[in-house]
Structure 1
């Protein structure tokens, strides 16, 4: 039972990493900041808005997608 739960947590962590990775990249390039700085900005937005980090990341991706031609 413990192994199945650990596997599920591992899968969840990998999915979260993918969700957060794209908006980090979206912030890094135009603002010339590091990955650590981009992650810090995302966590700050999450805390200030009392919103889950994944939700902040997804919102940023959606906003960025709206601006693409």
Structure 2
């Protein structure tokens, strides 16, 4: 359990440190962090949708092949 907590802590710290370098010094960190996280979620969602569509397409091709 301690290893899991340590890994979660490391993950959170590394993401926080990486995101802060893209926030302008004279702007609100909360607003910019929200924007960066929203972009990250959008890209992840689009990537997942692309993988799902490609997998369904490939499954349809594989079902039509005679092995």
TM-score by length of 1: 0.43
* Structure with larger RCO (C-alpha < 8 A, sep 6+): 1
